[in-house]
A and B are shown apart, each in its own frame.
Chain A
Amino acid sequence: MTKADIVDSVYERVGFSKKEAAQMVEMFFEILKETMDRGEKIKISGFGNFVVKEKRARKGRNPQSGGEIEISPRRVLTFKPSQALKKLLNT
């Protein structure tokens, strides 16, 4: 499934034109991205949480050469599925 399929389902459910449905889906993902980019958590009941985590610097290894390297501190986005979603997928 891609964004186009999501647009189709919004279009079928709401009385918008295809173009309006596409714009709203676009805005939807844009808002999610901007919110996470600010480091803000997103909690969607029945779906899950998107959380930005701060990772400290750590030592790693280049798997090819075996040489030790420093992995710089970074921010990563993680998704934690809700209990409800996990249950739905396993029934």
Chain B
Amino acid sequence: MNKAELAMEVARRAKVNQKVAKVVVDAIFEEMVTTLQKGERIEIRGFGSFVIRNYGSYQGRNPKTGESVNVTPKKLPYFKVGKELKEKINSKG
């Protein structure tokens, strides 16, 4: 499923037109991105949470050439699956 399909499904269920659903879906993702950019966490009960993890610099290697490269410090978002969703997904295995 991609963003357009997600918006279509929101439109179908909420009985709103697709343009409106697209605005809503975009607004939600934009809001989440802005929050992460500020370094704040996102917590959605029953779904999961996003936190920013800080990684220090380290010596890495270019896997193609084997050359040693210096990797600069970076921030990455980490998603922790909510307990309820985690159990639900695993129960279908």
Contacts and interface: CB of A to CB of B under 8 A. Distances in A.
Interface of A: 1-3, 5-6, 9-10, 13-14, 20, 23-25, 27-29, 31-33, 35-37, 39-48, 50, 52, 54, 73-79, 81, 85-86, 88-90
Contact of A1 (B9, B42, B74, B81): B42
Given A24-B24, A29-B46, A81 B77 contact: yes
B36 to A, nearest CB: 6
Contact of A77 (B27, B46, B86): B86
Interface string B37-56: 10011111111101010000
Nearest to B31: A9
B10 A31 contact: yes
B75 interface: yes
Nearest to B30: A9
A46 B1 CA distance: 14
A52 B79 CA distance: 13
Contacts of A23: 14
A50 B62 CA distance: 27
27 contacts: A1-B32, A1-B40, A1-B43, A2-B42, A2-B45, A3-B44, A20-B14, A23-B14, A24-B24, A27-B13, A31-B6, A31-B9, A32-B47, A33-B46, A37-B88, A39-B92, A42-B2, A43-B2, A44-B2, A74-B93, A76-B81, A76-B86, A77-B86, A79-B50, A81-B77, A85-B77, A90-B74
